[in-house]
Structure 1
Amino acid sequence: MIKLHHLNKSRSKRIIWLLEELNVKYEVAAYQRDPATFLAPPELKSVHPLGKSPILEDDGMIIAESGAITEYLIDKYADGLFAPQRGTKEYVEYSQWMHFAESSAILPLLLKIFVEKDGAETNFLAGYADMETAKVLRFFDDSLEGRRYLVADQLSGADIMMSFIVELVKNNGEFDKYKNIAVYAQQLASHPAFIQADSIELQAEA
């Protein structure tokens, strides 16, 4: 059976959502962040040397990195759903969003979080993080104009990957600045599997 090593308040929530969409049997091994440091517990290092989440176990393999996990699950279990056909223009668009989620989009948002947690005055980093965050989120928001989903008007792995970025925008209270992202968030949350993933995550934190 598939086993997902899930850390609370982490990117692995979107893997729970994907597993629910795929309707496959799986189990969740839940881990809690240290309340003082907000770091993952050392037990995760016994699963993967980086000690991060998500980590997926399937068919004797241990797979790290949420983008790789998403691609693996879709390739193996989706039966043609949740990704455009390879070799098409839509697939190229899909691939760009898959990589954007964990590269251009996430970096400035994480920098903002780290700067705020550190609390020290910076000469460059805080301003850079604000500027880059505004740039990538404006690009994301503009790209959603007139769209329900990112690619081919249907839910795909790209939407599941980008859902973590949406969650960060929501947590920052910035839906009023990015109207298309706010509407998109409602669209994603309309999926029963998304709602179920929320419920499973809450249970894992209990």
Structure 2
Amino acid sequence: MIIVHHLNDSRSQRVLWLLEELGVEYEVKRYERDAKTRLAPPALKAIHPLGKSPVIQHGDVIVAETGAIVEYLLETFPDAGLKPASGTPEARRYTYWLHYAEGSAMTPLLLKLIFGVIPQRSPALIRPIARGISKKVGASLIDPQIASHLGYWEAELHKSEWFAGERFTAADIMMSFPLEAAGSRAPFGDRMPKAAAFLKRIHARPAYQRALERGGPYAYA
């Protein structure tokens, strides 16, 4: 039995979704973020030294990091058709998007989040200064990077319905969180119709819906 150490409103929702797509039995152990800090609870450090989610346990095997978990699960359960055949153009695209999702896409979104909370967590005396710095960094450095990535996603989804080609793969599961996080801040709507359609397609998948039922409230759905 696979145990998923699942944190609310986090990347681990993708792991539940993948397991539902694979049709694999699993158990969910839920953890809740601190209401004020939004950080994971200390209890997760008993599972992995960094105290982050997702983490899965499969017998004596413990795997952390979403991308590594995806690769482990697809190696362990290879018959679901969620990975293109090796050596194909689709396989190369698949590998790229699988790693891009966390390696490049999430970096500016995380910086946006961090600089957004700096003013409210600063001492009251310097809060106006912190707010000004955060606003300047956002406008000059972070926002242009996010805009570049958004444009990239939209252009790629004009080429094919899914990120690795014409067929749904685990790369789309990995890319779901960056798109959901970005779309939650500013809905794509008419400015990014292909990205909006992508989110609509994944949210309609039965496995996605089942994962939401198992994982509990998820702010990005």
TM-score range, shorter chain: over 0.9
Measure the CA separation in 2 of the matches of 1:115 and 1:203. 25
Name stretches of at least 5 consecutive residues in structure 2 with no aligned partner. 120-129
Compute the displacement of 1:106 (Å). 0.4
Tell me the alpha carbon deviations over residues 156-200 of structure 1, each in whole angstroms, 9 at most, x when there is no partner. Answer: 110000000121122112313322110111111121001111222
One of 160, 164, 171 as aligned partner of 1:147: 160
Contact kept? 1:148, 1:187, Cα under 8 Å: no
Compute the displacement of 1:203 (Å). 6.3
Compute the displacement of 1:41 (Å). 0.2
**Aligned residue runs from structure 1 range 16-165, under 5 A:** 16-79=16-79, 81-119=81-119, 120=130, 121-122=132-133, 125-126=137-138, 127-165=140-178
Q: Indicate the larger mover: 94-103 or 174-183.
A: 174-183
What's 2:194 paired with? 180
Measure the CA separation in 2 of the matches of 1:146 and 1:30. 38
Identity in percent: 40
Q: Indicate the larger mover: 86-95 or 2-11.
A: 86-95
How many matched pairs?
Answer: 205
Change (3 A) 1:203 1:37: closer
Name stretches of at least 5 consecutive residues in structure 1 with no aligned partner. none
What is the root-mean-square deviation of aligned Cα atoms in Å?
1.7
SS at the partner of 2:63?
Answer: strand
Tell me the alpha carbon deviations over residues 27-63 of structure 1, each in whole angstroms, 9 at most, x when there is no partner. Answer: 0000000001110000000000000000011131110
Q: Which has the higher helix share?
A: 2
TM-score by length of 1: 0.94
Q: Does 1:197 align with 2:208?
A: no
Compute the displacement of 1:136 (Å). 0.9
Change (3 A) 1:93 1:134: same
Contact kept? 2:157, 2:195, Cα under 8 Å: yes
Which amino acid in 2 is paired with 1:174? Answer: P
Please identify the structure whose Cα radius of gyration is greater: 2
SS at the partner of 2:158?
Answer: coil
Contact kept? 1:147, 1:153, Cα under 8 Å: yes
Q: Moved runs in structure 1, 4+ residues, more than 3 A? A: none
Measure the CA separation in 2 of the matches of 1:51 and 1:9. 15
